[in-house]
Amino acid sequence: MFELTLPPGLIVSLLVGVILPLIVGLVTTRVTNSSTRALLLAVLSAAAGLLTELGESIAAGTAYDIGVGGLAALTTFLTAVGLHFGLYKPTGAAAALQSVGGKRLPDPRTSTREEYQDALDDRDDGAQ
């Protein structure tokens, strides 16, 4: 006999891993260093995994298992990274989310120096 059991914590970790790259995209810009975005994603994944296990242990009235929390954090991080590079970045969803909000500076890697300076001047004029 076979049985399939999906713990709620696992489902929450996977769902959080799906939305975390989108959240990181919303709070960063296109010119944010990629290592900063990766660190932010890792910290948010760790927090989500550890807090998911904490919620499960409180709900079940059992001891907190740091190993399960760490595994949930790793699952969340790997899901988030996989979706970012496999889906969100190739389809342009990551770039679109990073463009949400106020007027941003153009990407210095793809714009000319004059375009970047004009955008910087426009932004500074609007701030005064």
Is residue 125 situated within a structural domain? no
Q: What is the pLDDT of residues 16-39, one digit of tens each?
A: 999 999 998 888 877 778 888 889
Name, in order, each residue with C-beta under 8 angstroms of 101's C-beta and a sequence gap of 6 or more. Answer: none
Q: Which residue has the higher pLDDT, 100 or 79?
A: 79
> Residues in the chain, how many?
128
The pLDDT of residue 127: 46
**Helix/strand/coil for 35:** helix
**pTM, 2 dp:** 0.71
Between CA 35 and CA 123 the distance in angstroms is 26
Residue 128 has pLDDT above 50, yes or no: no
> Which structural domain range is residue 58 located in?
8-102
- The whole-number average pLDDT for the span 35-58 is 92
Q: What is the pLDDT of residues 71-82, one digit of tens each?
A: 999 999 999 999
Question: How many domains is the chain partitioned into structurally?
Answer: 1
Is residue 93 situated within a structural domain? yes
Is residue 127 situated within a structural domain? no
The pLDDT of residue 45: 94
Between CA 34 and CA 85 the distance in angstroms is 12
Residue 125 has pLDDT above 60, yes or no: no
Is residue 110 situated within a structural domain? no
Is residue 2 situated within a structural domain? no
Is residue 107 situated within a structural domain? no
Is residue 40 situated within a structural domain? yes
pLDDT band at 101 (very low <50, low <70, confident <90, very high): low
Burial class of residue 69, CB neighbours in 10 A (0-12, 13-18, 19+): buried
Is residue 126 situated within a structural domain? no
